[in-house]
Structure 1
Amino acid sequence: MTALDDLPIRDDLRGQRPYGAPQALVPVALNVNENTHPIPEVVAHDIVASLASAVLTVNRYPDREFTELREALAVYLGHGVTPEQMWAGNGSNEVLQHILQAFGGPGRSLLGFTPTYSMYPLLAAGVGTRWIPATRDAEFELSPETAARQVAEADPDLVFLCSPNNPTGTPLSLETITAVYEASRGMVIVDEAYAEFAPDDEASALTLLEGRPRLIVSRTMSKAFAFAGVRLGYLAADPAVVDALRLVRLPYHLSALTQAAATAALRHADEMLAMVDDIRTQRDRLVVELGRLGYDPKRSGSNFVLFGGVADPHAAFEALFARGILIRDVGIPNHLRVTAGTEAETTSFLEALAAISPA
C-alpha cells in the first residue's frame, strides 16, 4: 500500500498533520464550539422553502457575485457596511484562505498571537506563507503595547487577531486592534467568529473599518446562527479588498443552495439569535461553577470556557468521555475547553466533572 511519504507532495507539507477535532456519537458533545440549540421550526420551514425554490434552478450556475446574500449580510452587520464591502465563502476558513491567497504566499508572512485558532498556521502553510507565533500577556490577555511591539519587530505581511480569541475566549479591545493596525504595513484581519456572544455594550471591530483600507473583519454563521453544517463565513472590508479576493476565488464557489439557505436564515436573524442570551447564561454559569469546583476558568466573551487547574487534562478528558461527555483538550498544559451548551447539557457536564474531580 502506498504511504503518504511515497508521493511527491510539497516538501513543506511533509510531516504535517491535518486539522481535526475528535468526532464521536455521545450524549453531550461540547468540544467544537457548535451552537447546540436547534434551529427554530418556523425558520427551518422558510429555509426549506427557499432550498426547494433554489433546487429548480440548479441546472444553471449560481450567481457568481451572490448579490442577494451580500445585500442581506450588509443589512445584518449594520455599521454603515455596504454590499460592495461584503465577501463570503464556504465557512470562515475559506474566507481566511482567500485572504492568504491574495495577500500571502511564498516570501510573505502571517503573525498571530498564540495560543490562538489552530487553523491559522495550517492555512498559512497551505499557501506557502511563513507563520510567526507571537506571544500574549499573562492570563492570555493582549495589551496594545505587547501586540504593537511584536508586530513592529516582526514586520509581517498579515496579522490575524482572533476576537474573542479561540481557544482561550479572551476578548480583544479596540485599542489593541488600532495599535496593531498602526504598527503594521500589511493586512490586519480581525476574526470575530464569536462576536455575537460578547457583551451587548462591547464594540465590534466593524466600527474601525472607515478609513482603514488594510483592515478586514471576518464573521461566521456557524456559531450564533447554529449554521455550522451549512458552511457560510463572510467578511467586511474596503471594496478594493473584495476586488482582490475575486482574483483567487474558484468560479461559482458558493452554491445556489448555500446562498438560498443563508439568505433565508438572515431574514430571521432575530429568531436565530434569540438563543444567544441562553448560551451566554450557560457560559457565565460555567465560569461560576468551575470556580466552585476548584478550577481556574478564564474570562470569556465567546460561547466556550477555557479552564485551568486540571492536573491531568488527558485523563480528565477520557474520564468525561467515558461518561458520555465530549469536551476539548486544546494542548495547553493543565487546561481544558468546554462549549456552553443547553442548560441540560451544561448540567450534565458539571455533574460529570464534579464526579471525577478530586475531593
Structure 2
Amino acid sequence: MTRPTSRDVAHAAGVSQATVSLVLGDKWRGRVSERTAGLVREAAAGLGYRPNLAARSLRLGSTRTALLVVPALTNEYFARVHTGAARVAAEHGFGVVLYLSPDGTGPAKDPFASASAALDGVIASSMAADALEAIGGSELPLVMLDSDPAAGGAAAFVNLDLAGGVREAVAHLRGLGHRRIRHLAADVPSWTFRIRADTLAAELGGPAPDTVRSALNVPAATAAMERALATDLAAPAAGRPTAVLCDDDILAVGACKAARRLGLRVPEDLSVTGFDDVALATAVEPELTTVSLPAERVGEQGMRALLTVLEGGTWRAPDLPVALTVRGSTAPPPTGP
C-alpha cells in the first residue's frame, strides 16, 4: 500500500501543500483559518498520513526530538508526566526520549555522543536536575518542571501551585480540630519539597517542631515514622501530634503502616495526608486524603513550553492548580486518652 503524501492530504482537503505544511507543522495561526486547519487535520487523519520526520529533519536542521529528564518511572507521577508530554509531542510531529535516574534521584550515564546533535530541547524535573550535568547539551533550550523560577537557568518554567496545596491540607486538618501536625518530609534536596516545607512553616508560624525525614520509599517511611510514633506514645497524650502531613503518597502509606504496627488506628488515633494522588492513594485502606496534582498536564505544559521556545516565543502561564481530595485517612483528633 502506497504511503499517503502531503500532496494527497492537500488534494483531499482542497488546499495547497504549503497550507498542509503550515497546519501540520503547527505554524498556521494567523495565516490559516480555524476551519481550514480543521479540514487539513481531518484529511490527514482520514488518510493515515504521517510526516516524514527524517526528511524534515534534514531540511530544517531539526531532529524533532525532545529529552525528558525525570526520576525512574517506577514513580507513577513521572510516568503520567511522560504521558502528557508524549501526547503533545506526537500532535506536533515530535518524539520524546526519556533520560532516567537509576536510583530515582541521581544522574545516569550520558546516552548521547552529542546531545545538541540528537535533540532539539530538554524538559527536566527539579528532582532530576543533577542529571543535567551529565548531558553535554547545555546550549539546548531547557524547560524546568517543579523548579524555582527565581533561580533562572532555563528558557521556561512549568510549576504547580504546591504552596496552595499545602495550605489546603493544613486548613483541612485544622478544620477537623488538629493543632499539632507532624511533617513527614522527603529527604530529597529539591525545590519541589523545599517549597512544601517552607509553606508548612509559614502556616504553622515557624518550622514544624515534629518534622521527620525519610527516603522516598515505603520501608524507609515506615521505619522513620515508627521510631517517631514510639517516642510519641511514651509522652503525655496532650503533647502528641494528632496528624501527619506527608510530602508524598508513598510516605503517607509508610506512616499508615507505622501507625498500625504500634496499635494506632488511622484516622481515629492519627490522621494522615498525602501528596500527588497516585493510584496508591486509593489502593490502601483507609484511602488517603491527599493533594491531587495534575501530572499529565505538567507534561503537556512542559512540551508546549518547549515548542513555544523553539518557535522563538516566550512562555508565560500561571502555576497549574491543585486540589485537596478528602478521603478516609483524616478525621477529628481523638478526645480520650
TM range (shorter): 0.3 to 0.5
Report which structure shows greater RCO (CA 8 Å, sep ≥6).
1
The structure with the larger Rg is 2
